[in-house]
Structure 1
Amino acid sequence: MLRILQFLYSLRSFLLFVLLEVLAIGLIVSNNSPQGAAFFNSANALSGSMLKTRSDVVDFFSLAEANDALLTENAALIQQLKTLKEIPDSVDLHLDSALKAQYDFKGARIISNSLRFAQNHLTLNKGAKDGVKPGMGVFNEQGVVGRVKSVSENYSVAISLLNTEFHLSAKIKSNDSFGSVKWDGKNAKKSKLLYVPRHVTAQPGDTVVTTGFSAVFPEGIFVGIIESVNQSDNPNYLDIAIELSTDFSKVHYVYLVENNNLIELDSLKQQAELTNEL
Protein backbone atom coordinates (compact mmCIF):
# COMPACT_ATOMS: atom_id res chain seq x y z
CA MET A 1 0.00 0.00 0.00
CA LEU A 2 2.85 2.36 0.86
CA ARG A 3 4.50 1.71 -2.50
CA ILE A 4 1.27 2.54 -4.30
CA LEU A 5 0.98 5.83 -2.43
CA GLN A 6 4.62 6.62 -3.17
CA PHE A 7 4.07 5.86 -6.85
CA LEU A 8 1.01 8.13 -7.03
CA TYR A 9 2.90 10.86 -5.17
CA SER A 10 5.69 10.67 -7.74
CA LEU A 11 3.12 11.28 -10.48
CA ARG A 12 1.42 14.16 -8.69
CA SER A 13 2.38 16.72 -11.30
CA PHE A 14 1.14 14.63 -14.19
CA LEU A 15 -2.11 13.72 -12.43
CA LEU A 16 -2.72 17.39 -11.59
CA PHE A 17 -2.13 18.27 -15.25
CA VAL A 18 -4.63 15.63 -16.43
CA LEU A 19 -7.20 16.82 -13.90
CA LEU A 20 -6.85 20.44 -15.03
CA GLU A 21 -7.11 19.40 -18.70
CA VAL A 22 -10.32 17.49 -18.05
CA LEU A 23 -11.71 20.44 -16.10
CA ALA A 24 -10.79 22.82 -18.90
CA ILE A 25 -12.41 20.62 -21.55
CA GLY A 26 -15.53 20.35 -19.41
CA LEU A 27 -15.75 24.15 -19.06
CA ILE A 28 -15.27 24.65 -22.80
CA VAL A 29 -17.89 22.06 -23.70
CA SER A 30 -20.46 23.29 -21.20
CA ASN A 31 -20.07 27.00 -22.04
CA ASN A 32 -19.60 26.90 -25.83
CA SER A 33 -22.36 25.44 -28.01
CA PRO A 34 -20.31 24.59 -31.15
CA GLN A 35 -17.59 22.81 -29.15
CA GLY A 36 -20.22 21.07 -27.01
CA ALA A 37 -22.11 19.81 -30.05
CA ALA A 38 -18.91 18.55 -31.67
CA PHE A 39 -17.89 16.78 -28.46
CA PHE A 40 -21.22 15.04 -27.96
CA ASN A 41 -21.42 14.03 -31.62
CA SER A 42 -17.98 12.47 -31.39
CA ALA A 43 -18.89 10.77 -28.12
CA ASN A 44 -22.10 9.39 -29.64
CA ALA A 45 -20.23 8.13 -32.69
CA LEU A 46 -17.64 6.38 -30.51
CA SER A 47 -20.34 4.92 -28.28
CA GLY A 48 -22.33 3.73 -31.29
CA SER A 49 -19.27 2.09 -32.81
CA MET A 50 -18.50 0.27 -29.55
CA LEU A 51 -22.11 -0.91 -29.21
CA LYS A 52 -22.15 -2.14 -32.81
CA THR A 53 -18.92 -4.07 -32.27
CA ARG A 54 -20.37 -5.61 -29.11
CA SER A 55 -23.57 -6.54 -30.96
CA ASP A 56 -21.60 -8.12 -33.82
CA VAL A 57 -19.60 -10.24 -31.36
CA VAL A 58 -22.73 -11.38 -29.52
CA ASP A 59 -24.50 -12.16 -32.81
CA PHE A 60 -21.53 -14.19 -34.03
CA PHE A 61 -21.50 -16.44 -30.97
CA SER A 62 -25.28 -16.88 -31.15
CA LEU A 63 -25.32 -17.97 -34.81
CA ALA A 64 -25.44 -21.70 -33.98
CA GLU A 65 -28.46 -21.22 -31.73
CA ALA A 66 -30.19 -19.05 -34.34
CA ASN A 67 -29.52 -21.61 -37.08
CA ASP A 68 -30.96 -24.41 -34.94
CA ALA A 69 -34.09 -22.33 -34.35
CA LEU A 70 -34.46 -21.59 -38.06
CA LEU A 71 -33.92 -25.25 -38.90
CA THR A 72 -36.70 -26.32 -36.54
CA GLU A 73 -39.02 -23.65 -37.95
CA ASN A 74 -38.24 -24.70 -41.54
CA ALA A 75 -38.93 -28.34 -40.71
CA ALA A 76 -42.34 -27.36 -39.32
CA LEU A 77 -43.08 -25.32 -42.46
CA ILE A 78 -42.07 -28.22 -44.72
CA GLN A 79 -44.41 -30.51 -42.80
CA GLN A 80 -47.26 -28.00 -43.16
CA LEU A 81 -46.56 -27.74 -46.89
CA LYS A 82 -46.64 -31.53 -47.28
CA THR A 83 -49.92 -31.59 -45.34
CA LEU A 84 -51.47 -29.05 -47.72
CA LYS A 85 -50.26 -31.05 -50.72
CA GLU A 86 -51.38 -34.39 -49.32
CA ILE A 87 -53.74 -36.21 -51.71
CA PRO A 88 -56.47 -37.99 -49.71
CA ASP A 89 -57.40 -41.59 -50.41
CA SER A 90 -60.17 -41.56 -53.00
CA VAL A 91 -61.96 -44.36 -51.12
CA ASP A 92 -61.61 -43.15 -47.53
CA LEU A 93 -63.18 -39.71 -47.22
CA HIS A 94 -63.12 -39.40 -43.41
CA LEU A 95 -61.94 -35.90 -42.49
CA ASP A 96 -59.27 -37.02 -40.00
CA SER A 97 -57.70 -39.44 -42.48
CA ALA A 98 -57.79 -36.92 -45.32
CA LEU A 99 -55.97 -34.24 -43.32
CA LYS A 100 -53.43 -36.47 -41.61
CA ALA A 101 -49.86 -35.80 -42.83
CA GLN A 102 -48.02 -38.85 -44.07
CA TYR A 103 -44.60 -37.44 -43.17
CA ASP A 104 -43.06 -35.73 -40.14
CA PHE A 105 -40.01 -33.47 -40.43
CA LYS A 106 -37.29 -32.53 -37.93
CA GLY A 107 -34.19 -30.36 -38.15
CA ALA A 108 -30.65 -31.45 -37.18
CA ARG A 109 -27.04 -30.33 -37.44
CA ILE A 110 -24.20 -32.49 -38.76
CA ILE A 111 -21.36 -32.74 -36.23
CA SER A 112 -19.26 -35.30 -38.12
CA ASN A 113 -19.06 -36.18 -41.81
CA SER A 114 -16.76 -38.43 -43.85
CA LEU A 115 -16.04 -38.29 -47.58
CA ARG A 116 -12.93 -40.34 -48.23
CA PHE A 117 -14.21 -43.86 -47.53
CA ALA A 118 -16.26 -46.34 -49.55
CA GLN A 119 -18.84 -46.44 -46.74
CA ASN A 120 -19.28 -42.87 -45.50
CA HIS A 121 -21.45 -41.84 -42.56
CA LEU A 122 -22.74 -38.67 -40.91
CA THR A 123 -23.27 -38.00 -37.20
CA LEU A 124 -26.19 -35.74 -36.23
CA ASN A 125 -26.76 -33.75 -33.04
CA LYS A 126 -30.26 -35.14 -32.52
CA GLY A 127 -31.18 -38.51 -31.03
CA ALA A 128 -33.97 -40.59 -29.54
CA LYS A 129 -35.00 -37.89 -27.08
CA ASP A 130 -35.67 -35.61 -30.08
CA GLY A 131 -37.80 -38.22 -31.84
CA VAL A 132 -35.14 -39.49 -34.26
CA LYS A 133 -35.57 -43.13 -35.29
CA PRO A 134 -33.60 -45.58 -37.46
CA GLY A 135 -34.82 -45.55 -41.05
CA MET A 136 -35.61 -41.83 -41.25
CA GLY A 137 -34.56 -40.13 -44.48
CA VAL A 138 -32.01 -37.30 -44.37
CA PHE A 139 -31.99 -34.41 -46.87
CA ASN A 140 -31.37 -30.67 -47.12
CA GLU A 141 -32.35 -27.83 -49.43
CA GLN A 142 -29.99 -29.21 -52.11
CA GLY A 143 -31.29 -32.78 -52.14
CA VAL A 144 -30.93 -36.26 -50.63
CA VAL A 145 -28.17 -36.72 -48.03
CA GLY A 146 -28.70 -40.21 -46.56
CA ARG A 147 -30.70 -42.37 -44.16
CA VAL A 148 -30.54 -42.77 -40.36
CA LYS A 149 -28.90 -46.07 -39.38
CA SER A 150 -28.54 -46.02 -35.58
CA VAL A 151 -29.71 -43.76 -32.75
CA SER A 152 -28.58 -43.04 -29.19
CA GLU A 153 -30.24 -40.80 -26.63
CA ASN A 154 -28.66 -37.56 -27.90
CA TYR A 155 -27.13 -38.43 -31.27
CA SER A 156 -27.72 -40.43 -34.44
CA VAL A 157 -25.62 -41.86 -37.27
CA ALA A 158 -26.80 -41.83 -40.87
CA ILE A 159 -25.57 -43.71 -43.92
CA SER A 160 -24.44 -41.12 -46.46
CA LEU A 161 -25.56 -41.22 -50.08
CA LEU A 162 -21.79 -41.49 -50.63
CA ASN A 163 -21.88 -45.08 -49.37
CA THR A 164 -21.50 -48.01 -51.75
CA GLU A 165 -24.07 -49.98 -49.73
CA PHE A 166 -26.77 -47.32 -50.06
CA HIS A 167 -29.44 -47.71 -52.76
CA LEU A 168 -31.93 -44.94 -53.46
CA SER A 169 -35.12 -45.37 -55.46
CA ALA A 170 -35.10 -42.53 -58.01
CA LYS A 171 -36.62 -41.56 -61.34
CA ILE A 172 -36.05 -39.33 -64.32
CA LYS A 173 -38.46 -36.47 -63.72
CA SER A 174 -39.24 -35.80 -67.37
CA ASN A 175 -40.58 -39.29 -68.16
CA ASP A 176 -41.04 -41.01 -64.73
CA SER A 177 -38.67 -43.84 -65.69
CA PHE A 178 -37.27 -45.15 -62.42
CA GLY A 179 -34.15 -46.96 -61.31
CA SER A 180 -31.76 -47.06 -58.37
CA VAL A 181 -29.07 -44.51 -57.51
CA LYS A 182 -25.89 -46.15 -56.22
CA TRP A 183 -22.53 -44.52 -55.58
CA ASP A 184 -19.52 -46.26 -57.14
CA GLY A 185 -17.07 -45.00 -54.50
CA LYS A 186 -15.03 -42.85 -56.90
CA ASN A 187 -16.14 -39.21 -57.14
CA ALA A 188 -17.96 -37.50 -54.25
CA LYS A 189 -19.88 -35.32 -56.72
CA LYS A 190 -21.11 -38.07 -59.04
CA SER A 191 -23.14 -41.29 -58.86
CA LYS A 192 -24.90 -43.82 -61.09
CA LEU A 193 -28.57 -44.32 -61.93
CA LEU A 194 -28.90 -48.08 -62.41
CA TYR A 195 -31.51 -50.40 -63.91
CA VAL A 196 -33.07 -47.92 -66.34
CA PRO A 197 -34.20 -49.92 -69.43
CA ARG A 198 -32.29 -49.15 -72.61
CA HIS A 199 -35.46 -48.18 -74.51
CA VAL A 200 -35.99 -45.19 -72.18
CA THR A 201 -35.18 -41.76 -73.58
CA ALA A 202 -32.72 -40.12 -71.19
CA GLN A 203 -30.59 -37.08 -71.97
CA PRO A 204 -27.84 -35.10 -70.24
CA GLY A 205 -29.45 -32.30 -68.25
CA ASP A 206 -32.52 -34.32 -67.20
CA THR A 207 -33.44 -34.03 -63.52
CA VAL A 208 -33.37 -37.07 -61.22
CA VAL A 209 -35.64 -37.07 -58.14
CA THR A 210 -36.87 -39.57 -55.55
CA THR A 211 -39.78 -41.82 -56.58
CA GLY A 212 -41.56 -42.09 -53.23
CA PHE A 213 -41.68 -45.88 -53.75
CA SER A 214 -39.38 -46.72 -50.83
CA ALA A 215 -41.57 -45.20 -48.08
CA VAL A 216 -38.48 -43.40 -46.77
CA PHE A 217 -38.40 -40.22 -48.86
CA PRO A 218 -41.38 -38.32 -50.25
CA GLU A 219 -41.64 -38.17 -54.01
CA GLY A 220 -39.81 -35.41 -55.80
CA ILE A 221 -36.78 -34.68 -53.60
CA PHE A 222 -33.87 -33.58 -55.76
CA VAL A 223 -31.08 -36.14 -56.31
CA GLY A 224 -29.06 -34.80 -59.23
CA ILE A 225 -28.72 -34.01 -62.94
CA ILE A 226 -27.94 -36.58 -65.63
CA GLU A 227 -24.40 -35.97 -66.87
CA SER A 228 -24.04 -38.72 -69.50
CA VAL A 229 -26.01 -41.60 -71.02
CA ASN A 230 -24.22 -44.59 -72.56
CA GLN A 231 -24.86 -48.20 -73.39
CA SER A 232 -24.16 -50.47 -70.43
CA ASP A 233 -22.30 -53.77 -70.41
CA ASN A 234 -25.71 -55.22 -69.61
CA PRO A 235 -27.69 -55.06 -72.88
CA ASN A 236 -30.95 -54.50 -71.00
CA TYR A 237 -30.03 -51.26 -69.21
CA LEU A 238 -28.48 -47.85 -69.82
CA ASP A 239 -25.28 -46.64 -68.19
CA ILE A 240 -26.39 -43.30 -66.68
CA ALA A 241 -24.00 -41.04 -64.75
CA ILE A 242 -25.49 -38.24 -62.66
CA GLU A 243 -24.01 -35.20 -60.96
CA LEU A 244 -25.30 -35.15 -57.40
CA SER A 245 -27.19 -32.04 -56.34
CA THR A 246 -25.85 -32.16 -52.77
CA ASP A 247 -22.36 -30.83 -52.10
CA PHE A 248 -21.32 -33.18 -49.29
CA SER A 249 -18.20 -31.14 -48.52
CA LYS A 250 -20.42 -28.25 -47.38
CA VAL A 251 -23.33 -30.01 -45.68
CA HIS A 252 -23.98 -28.61 -42.18
CA TYR A 253 -27.73 -28.65 -41.54
CA VAL A 254 -30.24 -31.28 -42.63
CA TYR A 255 -33.86 -32.31 -42.30
CA LEU A 256 -35.03 -35.70 -41.09
CA VAL A 257 -38.19 -37.14 -42.61
CA GLU A 258 -40.27 -39.92 -41.12
CA ASN A 259 -43.00 -41.81 -42.95
CA ASN A 260 -45.81 -42.32 -40.44
CA ASN A 261 -46.87 -45.43 -42.36
CA LEU A 262 -43.38 -46.99 -42.50
CA ILE A 263 -43.97 -49.66 -39.83
CA GLU A 264 -47.16 -50.84 -41.52
CA LEU A 265 -45.53 -50.89 -44.96
CA ASP A 266 -42.45 -52.77 -43.70
CA SER A 267 -44.66 -55.32 -41.95
CA LEU A 268 -46.66 -55.84 -45.13
CA LYS A 269 -43.49 -56.30 -47.21
CA GLN A 270 -42.13 -58.81 -44.71
CA GLN A 271 -45.35 -60.78 -44.97
CA ALA A 272 -45.01 -60.70 -48.74
CA GLU A 273 -41.30 -61.61 -48.42
CA LEU A 274 -40.20 -58.46 -50.21
CA THR A 275 -37.04 -56.47 -49.46
CA ASN A 276 -37.43 -52.79 -48.78
CA GLU A 277 -35.20 -50.86 -51.15
CA LEU A 278 -33.79 -47.62 -49.76
Structure 2
Amino acid sequence: MVSRSGSLQSAGIARLSYRFAALVWGGSENVRDYFALQQRNRELSDQVFALERELGAYRERDRRLRADSLAAGLPGSEDFTFLPADIVKLSRNRQHNYLILNKGYENGVQPQSGVVTPNGVVGIVNAVDRYYSYATAFQNTDFSVSARIGKEGAVGPLSWDGRTRRGALLREIPLQARFAPGDTVRTSGFSAVFPPDIPLGVLGESRIVNGAMYEIQVELFEDYASVKYVTITGNTGREEILSLENLAEE
Protein backbone atom coordinates (compact mmCIF):
# COMPACT_ATOMS: atom_id res chain seq x y z
CA MET A 1 0.00 0.00 0.00
CA VAL A 2 2.81 2.26 0.87
CA SER A 3 4.59 1.26 -2.30
CA ARG A 4 1.52 2.03 -4.41
CA SER A 5 1.07 5.38 -2.70
CA GLY A 6 4.72 6.20 -3.26
CA SER A 7 4.44 5.32 -6.94
CA LEU A 8 1.42 7.58 -7.37
CA GLN A 9 3.21 10.38 -5.59
CA SER A 10 6.27 9.92 -7.78
CA ALA A 11 4.12 9.97 -10.91
CA GLY A 12 2.43 13.18 -9.75
CA ILE A 13 5.76 14.81 -9.06
CA ALA A 14 7.01 13.74 -12.48
CA ARG A 15 3.96 15.26 -14.18
CA LEU A 16 4.44 18.49 -12.27
CA SER A 17 8.10 18.48 -13.22
CA TYR A 18 7.23 18.08 -16.90
CA ARG A 19 4.68 20.87 -16.69
CA PHE A 20 7.15 23.10 -14.91
CA ALA A 21 9.85 22.31 -17.47
CA ALA A 22 7.44 23.04 -20.30
CA LEU A 23 6.45 26.31 -18.67
CA VAL A 24 10.08 27.32 -18.19
CA TRP A 25 10.92 26.28 -21.74
CA GLY A 26 7.96 28.20 -23.11
CA GLY A 27 8.87 31.20 -21.00
CA SER A 28 12.42 31.05 -22.28
CA GLU A 29 11.12 30.92 -25.83
CA ASN A 30 8.91 33.93 -25.13
CA VAL A 31 11.84 35.84 -23.66
CA ARG A 32 13.99 34.97 -26.67
CA ASP A 33 11.18 36.01 -29.00
CA TYR A 34 10.77 39.28 -27.10
CA PHE A 35 14.44 40.20 -27.40
CA ALA A 36 14.51 39.09 -31.03
CA LEU A 37 11.51 41.33 -31.69
CA GLN A 38 13.21 44.22 -29.91
CA GLN A 39 16.32 43.71 -32.03
CA ARG A 40 14.22 43.58 -35.20
CA ASN A 41 12.43 46.77 -34.21
CA ARG A 42 15.78 48.50 -33.70
CA GLU A 43 16.95 47.30 -37.10
CA LEU A 44 13.74 48.52 -38.75
CA SER A 45 14.03 51.86 -36.96
CA ASP A 46 17.60 52.25 -38.21
CA GLN A 47 16.49 51.38 -41.74
CA VAL A 48 13.63 53.90 -41.61
CA PHE A 49 16.01 56.59 -40.32
CA ALA A 50 18.49 55.82 -43.12
CA LEU A 51 15.71 55.95 -45.73
CA GLU A 52 14.43 59.26 -44.34
CA ARG A 53 17.93 60.73 -44.56
CA GLU A 54 18.30 59.44 -48.11
CA LEU A 55 14.88 60.83 -49.05
CA GLY A 56 15.82 64.18 -47.49
CA ALA A 57 19.03 64.23 -49.52
CA TYR A 58 17.08 63.48 -52.72
CA ARG A 59 14.61 66.25 -51.93
CA GLU A 60 17.40 68.73 -51.27
CA ARG A 61 19.07 67.79 -54.57
CA ASP A 62 15.73 68.18 -56.35
CA ARG A 63 15.24 71.66 -54.85
CA ARG A 64 18.78 72.61 -55.75
CA LEU A 65 18.19 71.48 -59.33
CA ARG A 66 14.99 73.53 -59.49
CA ALA A 67 16.80 76.61 -58.19
CA ASP A 68 19.60 76.09 -60.72
CA SER A 69 17.04 75.55 -63.48
CA LEU A 70 15.31 78.80 -62.54
CA ALA A 71 18.62 80.66 -62.63
CA ALA A 72 19.54 79.12 -65.99
CA GLY A 73 16.24 80.28 -67.48
CA LEU A 74 16.78 83.93 -66.51
CA PRO A 75 19.34 85.63 -68.78
CA GLY A 76 19.80 88.59 -66.42
CA SER A 77 20.39 86.53 -63.29
CA GLU A 78 24.20 86.59 -63.25
CA ASP A 79 24.26 89.03 -60.34
CA PHE A 80 21.97 86.91 -58.17
CA THR A 81 22.36 83.89 -55.92
CA PHE A 82 19.65 81.23 -55.76
CA LEU A 83 18.94 79.22 -52.61
CA PRO A 84 16.19 76.56 -52.45
CA ALA A 85 13.91 76.72 -49.40
CA ASP A 86 10.68 75.30 -47.99
CA ILE A 87 7.73 77.29 -46.73
CA VAL A 88 7.07 76.07 -43.19
CA LYS A 89 4.19 78.48 -42.57
CA LEU A 90 2.06 80.61 -44.87
CA SER A 91 -0.90 82.78 -43.94
CA ARG A 92 -3.56 83.08 -46.66
CA ASN A 93 -6.68 84.55 -45.13
CA ARG A 94 -5.56 88.08 -44.34
CA GLN A 95 -4.90 91.36 -46.09
CA HIS A 96 -1.32 91.30 -44.77
CA ASN A 97 -0.14 87.74 -45.38
CA TYR A 98 3.32 86.43 -44.55
CA LEU A 99 5.44 83.30 -44.85
CA ILE A 100 8.18 81.63 -42.82
CA LEU A 101 11.03 79.82 -44.60
CA ASN A 102 13.38 77.11 -43.33
CA LYS A 103 16.55 79.02 -44.25
CA GLY A 104 18.27 81.75 -42.22
CA TYR A 105 21.52 83.67 -41.94
CA GLU A 106 23.43 80.41 -41.45
CA ASN A 107 22.48 79.71 -45.08
CA GLY A 108 23.42 83.19 -46.29
CA VAL A 109 19.93 84.72 -46.29
CA GLN A 110 19.73 88.48 -45.72
CA PRO A 111 16.83 90.90 -45.27
CA GLN A 112 15.50 92.24 -48.57
CA SER A 113 16.11 88.93 -50.34
CA GLY A 114 13.50 87.89 -52.89
CA VAL A 115 11.32 84.79 -52.64
CA VAL A 116 10.33 83.37 -56.03
CA THR A 117 9.29 80.30 -58.00
CA PRO A 118 9.46 79.63 -61.75
CA ASN A 119 5.85 80.88 -61.83
CA GLY A 120 6.22 84.19 -60.07
CA VAL A 121 7.17 86.30 -57.08
CA VAL A 122 6.11 84.88 -53.71
CA GLY A 123 7.42 87.54 -51.34
CA ILE A 124 10.36 89.43 -49.87
CA VAL A 125 12.39 88.61 -46.74
CA ASN A 126 12.01 91.14 -43.91
CA ALA A 127 13.67 89.44 -40.92
CA VAL A 128 16.24 86.67 -40.59
CA ASP A 129 17.01 84.33 -37.70
CA ARG A 130 19.73 81.70 -37.57
CA TYR A 131 17.74 78.97 -39.30
CA TYR A 132 14.52 80.69 -40.41
CA SER A 133 13.34 83.75 -42.31
CA TYR A 134 10.18 85.85 -42.14
CA ALA A 135 8.90 87.28 -45.40
CA THR A 136 6.06 89.51 -46.53
CA ALA A 137 3.95 87.56 -49.02
CA PHE A 138 2.95 88.86 -52.45
CA GLN A 139 -0.63 88.48 -51.20
CA ASN A 140 -0.18 91.50 -48.96
CA THR A 141 -1.81 94.85 -49.70
CA ASP A 142 1.45 96.63 -48.79
CA PHE A 143 3.52 94.67 -51.33
CA SER A 144 4.29 95.48 -54.96
CA VAL A 145 6.87 94.43 -57.53
CA SER A 146 8.13 96.28 -60.59
CA ALA A 147 6.70 94.49 -63.63
CA ARG A 148 7.04 94.80 -67.40
CA ILE A 149 4.61 93.94 -70.16
CA GLY A 150 6.38 91.47 -72.42
CA LYS A 151 10.13 91.71 -72.93
CA GLU A 152 10.35 95.40 -73.81
CA GLY A 153 6.97 96.90 -72.93
CA ALA A 154 5.79 99.44 -70.39
CA VAL A 155 6.73 99.09 -66.72
CA GLY A 156 4.57 99.63 -63.65
CA PRO A 157 3.98 98.37 -60.10
CA LEU A 158 2.17 95.03 -59.83
CA SER A 159 0.29 94.26 -56.62
CA TRP A 160 -2.28 91.79 -55.32
CA ASP A 161 -5.88 92.86 -55.90
CA GLY A 162 -6.70 92.04 -52.26
CA ARG A 163 -9.63 89.81 -53.19
CA THR A 164 -8.82 86.74 -55.25
CA ARG A 165 -6.09 84.12 -54.92
CA ARG A 166 -4.58 84.72 -58.37
CA GLY A 167 -5.70 88.26 -59.10
CA ALA A 168 -3.38 91.29 -59.36
CA LEU A 169 -3.40 94.83 -60.74
CA LEU A 170 -0.73 96.43 -62.92
CA ARG A 171 -0.87 100.19 -62.43
CA GLU A 172 0.66 103.41 -63.81
CA ILE A 173 0.89 102.18 -67.40
CA PRO A 174 1.13 105.16 -69.81
CA LEU A 175 -1.75 105.74 -72.22
CA GLN A 176 0.61 105.45 -75.19
CA ALA A 177 1.69 101.95 -74.15
CA ARG A 178 0.75 99.13 -76.50
CA PHE A 179 -0.55 95.88 -75.06
CA ALA A 180 -3.29 93.29 -75.47
CA PRO A 181 -5.13 90.83 -73.23
CA GLY A 182 -3.07 87.66 -72.91
CA ASP A 183 0.31 89.44 -72.98
CA THR A 184 2.75 88.06 -70.41
CA VAL A 185 3.86 90.19 -67.47
CA ARG A 186 7.39 89.66 -66.10
CA THR A 187 9.63 91.17 -63.43
CA SER A 188 11.26 94.27 -64.90
CA GLY A 189 14.69 93.95 -63.28
CA PHE A 190 14.35 97.51 -61.94
CA SER A 191 14.98 96.19 -58.45
CA ALA A 192 17.86 95.04 -56.27
CA VAL A 193 15.63 92.23 -55.00
CA PHE A 194 14.23 90.28 -57.96
CA PRO A 195 16.02 89.12 -61.13
CA PRO A 196 14.50 90.29 -64.43
CA ASP A 197 12.15 88.26 -66.63
CA ILE A 198 10.49 86.04 -64.02
CA PRO A 199 7.04 85.35 -65.54
CA LEU A 200 4.25 86.64 -63.31
CA GLY A 201 0.96 86.34 -65.18
CA VAL A 202 -1.10 87.45 -68.19
CA LEU A 203 -2.99 90.67 -68.89
CA GLY A 204 -6.77 90.83 -68.67
CA GLU A 205 -9.17 93.76 -68.84
CA SER A 206 -7.92 97.34 -68.51
CA ARG A 207 -9.36 100.73 -67.58
CA ILE A 208 -8.16 104.32 -67.67
CA VAL A 209 -7.68 105.91 -64.24
CA ASN A 210 -8.10 109.70 -63.84
CA GLY A 211 -7.70 110.09 -67.60
CA ALA A 212 -3.95 109.63 -67.28
CA MET A 213 -2.90 105.99 -66.75
CA TYR A 214 -4.03 102.44 -67.43
CA GLU A 215 -4.83 100.01 -64.65
CA ILE A 216 -4.78 96.44 -65.96
CA GLN A 217 -6.05 93.25 -64.37
CA VAL A 218 -3.52 90.41 -64.28
CA GLU A 219 -4.15 86.70 -63.78
CA LEU A 220 -1.13 85.35 -61.90
CA PHE A 221 0.62 82.11 -62.87
CA GLU A 222 1.45 81.09 -59.31
CA ASP A 223 -1.24 79.38 -57.26
CA TYR A 224 -0.46 80.65 -53.76
CA ALA A 225 -2.80 78.10 -52.18
CA SER A 226 -0.49 75.21 -53.10
CA VAL A 227 3.02 76.69 -53.19
CA LYS A 228 5.46 74.97 -50.81
CA TYR A 229 8.92 75.03 -52.39
CA VAL A 230 10.53 78.37 -53.25
CA THR A 231 13.85 79.93 -54.17
CA ILE A 232 15.44 82.77 -52.20
CA THR A 233 17.27 85.26 -54.42
CA GLY A 234 20.13 87.44 -53.26
CA ASN A 235 21.70 90.28 -55.25
CA THR A 236 25.51 90.11 -55.06
CA GLY A 237 25.73 93.83 -55.86
CA ARG A 238 23.07 94.86 -53.39
CA GLU A 239 25.36 96.78 -51.01
CA GLU A 240 26.81 98.86 -53.85
CA ILE A 241 23.31 99.62 -55.18
CA LEU A 242 22.07 100.71 -51.74
CA SER A 243 25.18 102.82 -51.22
CA LEU A 244 24.59 104.65 -54.51
CA GLU A 245 20.91 105.16 -53.67
CA ASN A 246 21.83 106.63 -50.29
CA LEU A 247 24.33 108.99 -51.91
CA ALA A 248 21.71 110.13 -54.41
CA GLU A 249 19.26 110.90 -51.60
CA GLU A 250 21.73 113.06 -49.64
TM category (shorter chain) comes to 0.7 to 0.9
SS in 2 for 1:66: helix
Point out where structure 2 has 5 or more consecutive residues left out of the alignment. 1-17, 27-46
Normalising to structure 2: TM-score of the pair? 0.75
Counterpart amino acid of 1:140? Answer: T
- Mark the structure with the bigger radius of gyration: 2
Q: Which has the higher contact order (CA 8 A, sep 6+)?
A: 2
Deviation (angstroms), 1:71: 1.0
Residue equivalent to 1:67: 59
Determine whether 1:223 maps to 2:200.
yes
TM-aligned CA distance change 1:236 to 1:69, over 3 Å: same
Residue equivalent to 2:3: none
Indicate which of 156, 170, 178 corresponds to 2:133.
156
SS in 2 for 1:196: strand
Q: Deviations over 1:140-175 (max 9, x none)?
A: 121211111110000001111111111100010155
Indicate which of 92, 107, 111 corresponds to 1:134.
111
Decide whether the 8 Å contact of 2:124 with 2:137 is kept in 1. yes
Alpha-carbon distance in 2 for matches of 1:267, 1:169: 21
Decide whether the 8 Å contact of 2:88 with 2:101 is kept in 1. yes
Deviation (angstroms), 1:63: 4.4
Alpha-carbon distance in 2 for matches of 1:2, 1:239: 93
Decide whether the 8 Å contact of 2:206 with 2:214 is kept in 1. yes
Counterpart amino acid of 1:155? Answer: Y
Percent of counterpart pairs with the same letter? 32
Point out where structure 1 has 5 or more consecutive residues left out of the alignment. 10-54, 88-100
> What is the total number of aligned residue pairs between the two structures?
213
Indicate which of 153, 170, 173 corresponds to 1:176.
153
Deviation (angstroms), 1:201: 2.1
Residue equivalent to 2:167: 190
Point out the structure with the larger strand share.
Answer: 2
Decide whether the 8 Å contact of 1:123 with 1:155 is kept in 2. yes
RMSD: 2.9
TM-aligned CA distance change 1:175 to 1:81, over 3 Å: closer
Alpha-carbon distance in 2 for matches of 1:200, 1:192: 16
Indicate which of 178, 189, 213 corresponds to 1:237.
213
Decide whether the 8 Å contact of 2:151 with 2:197 is kept in 1. no
Alpha-carbon distance in 1 for matches of 2:175, 2:204: 16
Alpha-carbon distance in 2 for matches of 1:4, 1:237: 98
Determine whether 1:5 maps to 2:22.
yes
Decide whether the 8 Å contact of 1:202 with 1:229 is kept in 2. no
Deviation (angstroms), 1:202: 2.2
Indicate which of 232, 241, 249 corresponds to 1:256.
232
Counterpart amino acid of 2:178? Answer: T
Normalising to structure 1: TM-score of the pair? 0.68
TM-aligned CA distance change 1:72 to 1:174, over 3 Å: closer
Correspondences of 1:260-271 after superposition (within 5 Å): 260-271=236-247
Correspondences of 1:26-45 after superposition (within 5 Å): none
